[in-house]
Structure 1
Amino acid sequence: MSLTAKLSANARTFTAKAEETSPDTGRLQAALDACAGTGRAVLLVAGRHADFLSGPLTVHADETLVIGEGVTLYASRRASAYQNPSTSVSCGSLSAHEGGCKAFITVSGAHAGVMGERGSAGQGSIDGRGDLAMLGTPTSWWKLASQAQTAGDDQNAPRLIEADKADDFTAYDVNLLNAAMFHLYYQSGTGLTVWGVDIKTPATARNTDGIDIDSATDATVYDSYIEDGDDGIAIKTNDSATANVTVADSHFYGTHGISIGSETTYGVSNVLVANDTVDGQDSYGNVSGSDNGLRIKSDSAAGGPVRDVEYLDDCLQHMKAPLVFDTRYASASGSHIPDFTSITLEGVVAQNSLSGAKSDLTGYSSSDPLGLYLSYVKLDAASSTSEYADVTQYDSNLSASGSGVGINNLTSGAGSYPSCSFPSYPTL
């Protein structure tokens, strides 16, 4: 079913009436309801106009929402439109608890997708407008996040796309822009494919994770460009184990790194991070506020086993902390001991690191040390803070010493140094 755009944005905003009513919500949702379960698609197309303005939408099982070439789907700026009816916490507010907001796009069943069309007019886009003021207030979603940090509270802001228990979900050839909070959150499902997705939100926008993979199995992120103000990738386990994740041939800008954790209670295993670049500076020139490259983080309140993780032929630049494997990420305490073992780096290069750059190799204790294998690792800032780590290495210049640190130097090892080039963020 094709729907033709009836609106044209002016500097990413619309008339006061349109902003208040989000006039495309009803016809978009009606089309999605009609296509549910058919294995077919709702396609948003440009005509004389190229923009849609909508409140929250639900994509059902066995259907795909396709944003046509040159089309932008804009999210409502009215906080009350996202109100989660099952809680008294107000969307758009600060609170001791989050959960006040529904996502802009909720994916509710298996074999669904959110995709774009790529062509000369540009890849289809979804714009969360997190930088613009919520209706009736002087505060944007991003300012709300900064206020939450100052107040020690949570901000209640909508995720751009949330897929829960949605097996075989695909996000393909679509731009995800300026999310109010996380861009894509995938949880409690099997079979995630993210391919050709370009995420663009500045490094200064707090809590705008690129892609969160939570309590999920068989997930692939490939051929994507990710710029945001928090983790580029966050692999975690809030409800169950996460396993079989590949992040490959993708590029990151200004993020907090390609991350596992901090919630690893149920276990993370079998992760491959291959042929990626991570740049600590975004396309606007902002340096990440938590400038990490490859990171595994947890603590005893949320820890658990992380094993069989391989970083293969990855390149880093403009880093403050090229490598972070930290079992004491937060001061919270508990009985969920982080245990990071069989962590392999085979062909990792860091260049143009920032002044004072240093890696972090922190195992939990002598009984639960960090288990690290390094081969062909070359960092232009080679020093580290190290504790309780068993390091086996070949042709690595990473310097590790400290309490409970053991080094086993090999006479041969697999791999080679990658040839590093860092592409500019593409024009959208």
Structure 2
Amino acid sequence: MNTTRASHAVIGIAALVTAASCYAHTSKKHHKTSSDAPMPVTYPSPTGSEPAVATQWGAVSEPALPATVCGAPLQAKLTPVGGSIDTLDADPANSQPDTARIQAAIDACPAGQAVKLTVGYSGESGFLSGPLRLKSGVTLWIDQGVTLFASRNPANYDNGVGTCGTATTSKTKSCNPLILASDTAGSGIVGKGVIDGRGGSLLTSGPNAGKRSWWDVAYQNKTMGLNQQNPRLVQVSKGSAFTLHDITLENSPNFHVVLDSVVGVTAWGIKILSPSLEYTKARYACPSGTTPDAHTPATCFTPDTVKNTDGFDPGQSSNVVLAYSYISTGDDDVAVKASKAPASNNLTFAHNHFYYGHGMSIGSETNSGVSNVAVTDLTMDGYDSPNGNGLRIKSDSSRGGMVSNVRYEQVCMRNVRQPLVFDPYYSTAKGSLYPSFTGIVIKGFRDLGSASQSSQVTFSGYATNGVVKPLEITLDNVVFDGTQPALATGHNGGPSVLPAYTHFTLGPGPVSFANSIVTSTAADVTVSGSPGNAAPVDCSGAFVPLKSVLPDSPI
């Protein structure tokens, strides 16, 4: 990382130290008892390679790998062909051969230890599983070279509603996630292996068997106004001290990682990608007629056709860190949500790289409130997707609430259609839950532009039916190279001319498009402060090809 980028501080965090205590550094040797029962295997813990991350509640360090594996590691028995195991489970009866043994190992594992999945004796690298449930204190360790493939049989995920794997008029969710951690303390998923949700593989049971993949079903959500019934990859509900470390998550049928009411989460060095080369072409150059736009089942997907594949979504959660991670998806790279109590607060996103996707987002559900969000040292390369977003806060009066104290620092961006979006009219839905965005600070932002498309920015507060909630935002050293961004127009019943109902504070650093911000008494646009001169953020070493991190990336 360029030495001029954001600095790192070092202090402790009690909730996550508790989790780390599960990874004590012991050094026993593998042996068996007289009954030949396997004993725990211990491993030396590597020294952390990345600096600690400063947060609002202290510093968080890179997690250590588990010191102890309960029993013998589980060995892979399947050999993928070209990164796929579709030839092995065309018969739905063969859809989850490894579920029982992985779950049994988790259930039998003592707290503070890990279940480890490893390569087989003859180089086998694949596991194939349906839904798994983690328990407190137990870590699932997917070793380097190993892929945990998700079943593509909807019957394996169905929660009893009976519609998993279809698109329905009902909004009732009908699929369990692949991996669930519910009410756990100190559990996690680690290792340099891969979890592959197989979103582009044809389903093997139900009305869409052999006709649609999970992503084809998801596309019906857009084209037919239906609700996709697809499983999430990892769901963490309630509980505390959850760890994601080094793991790669790919091709989820729906959201990749969802947190719901969790206190204390460290996601460090994770990689999220949809779609991978397994389901597309290099640089997403899909031939005409092969994508969901015109062909079902589709044979090639792009980030713009894998709907609702959010990367990392913390909801109603606190003390959450996402650090040193890489995300490229077909929807929000990150979406901080607060659809119910408790509020989402104390969230830090540091030293991350985003690629395709709908941005570093807050919302659209902000009902119970979002506060104390820090985004620092973020690099975004949108690859000129027409749907690309950068920094975004989105909501509407059907699901709005208070979003406050959000700070973005040291951001480098290029090829992003909408680099800055602050929008309380995200949809046409109406209600009495009014969005309010206050205490928003952007300090140190640089957009290098695009050779193929222009960009636009959205600044709007909420003002309808006598309810006025101005956007309060500070812009300090916010610089667009070359052509300056256009100001977006309003939509969904909001003010037509933007900015509107926005109180700007500019400076002391430069704001390259300051001349386009005009005060207005009628639209309640005010400007305080004065932009000055300063060197823009140094982005010379910021951008990293995703393929250098994930070999199966198309970009």
- TM-score class, shorter-chain normalisation, is over 0.9
**Cα separation, 1, equivalents of 2:210 and 2:173:** 20
Select which of 392, 399, 409 maps to 1:295. Answer: 392
**Cα separation, 2, equivalents of 1:367 and 1:79:** 46
Equivalent runs, 1:114-125 vs 2, <5 Å: 114-116=189-191, 123-125=192-194
8 Å CA contact 1:79, 1:91 repeated in 2: yes
In the alignment, what sits opposite 1:92? 165
Select which of 171, 194, 213 maps to 2:314. Answer: 213
Equivalent runs, 1:29-428 vs 2, <5 Å: 29-35=103-109, 37-47=110-120, 48=122, 49-85=124-160, 88-95=161-168, 96-108=170-182, 109-116=184-191, 123-135=192-204, 136-202=209-275, 203-204=303-304, 205-240=306-341, 241-281=343-383, 287-353=384-450, 355-365=453-463, 367-380=468-481, 381-385=484-488, 386-394=499-507, 395-398=510-513, 399-401=516-518, 403-410=523-530, 417-420=536-539, 421-425=542-546, 426-428=549-551
TM-score of the aligned structures, taking structure 1 as reference length: 0.93
**Cα separation, 2, equivalents of 1:16 and 1:62:** 32
**Cα separation, 2, equivalents of 1:271 and 1:404:** 26
Give the CA deviation at 1:15.
2.0
Paired residues, number? 413
8 Å CA contact 1:346, 1:416 repeated in 2: no
Counterpart residue type for residue 193 of structure 2: G
In the alignment, what sits opposite 2:80? 9
Counterpart residue type for residue 117 of structure 2: L
Aligned CA-pair RMSD: 1.7
- The secondary structure found in structure 2 opposite 1:250 is strand
Identity of aligned pairs, percent? 38
- The secondary structure found in structure 1 opposite 2:223 is helix
After TM superposition, the structure 1 stretch with the greater mean CA deviation from structure 2, 287-296 or 224-233, is: 287-296
**Cα separation, 1, equivalents of 2:165 and 2:253:** 10
**Cα separation, 2, equivalents of 1:27 and 1:225:** 31
- The secondary structure found in structure 2 opposite 1:392 is strand
Give the CA deviation at 1:417.
2.6
Residues 7-46 of structure 1, C-alpha deviations (whole Å, 9 max, x = no match): 11123114247763221111011001111x5211000011
Give the CA deviation at 1:412.
6.0
After TM superposition, the structure 1 stretch with the greater mean CA deviation from structure 2, 402-411 or 171-180, is: 402-411
**Runs (5+) with no aligned partner, structure 1:** 117-122, 282-286
Counterpart residue type for residue 544 of structure 2: P
Give the CA deviation at 1:400.
2.6
TM-score of the aligned structures, taking structure 2 as reference length: 0.72
8 Å CA contact 1:313, 1:417 repeated in 2: no
Counterpart residue type for residue 270 of structure 1: N
Larger radius of gyration: 2
Give the CA deviation at 1:289.
4.8
8 Å CA contact 1:110, 1:165 repeated in 2: no
In the alignment, what sits opposite 1:120? none
- The secondary structure found in structure 2 opposite 1:367 is strand
Give the CA deviation at 1:138.
1.9
8 Å CA contact 1:188, 1:239 repeated in 2: no
Give the CA deviation at 1:115.
0.7
Counterpart residue type for residue 427 of structure 1: L
After TM superposition, the structure 1 stretch with the greater mean CA deviation from structure 2, 39-48 or 8-17, is: 8-17
Give the CA deviation at 1:166.
2.6
- Give 1 or 2: higher strand fraction: 1
Tell me whether 1:23 sits opposite 2:72 in the alignment.
no
After TM superposition, the structure 1 stretch with the greater mean CA deviation from structure 2, 418-427 or 292-301, is: 418-427
Give the CA deviation at 1:352.
2.2
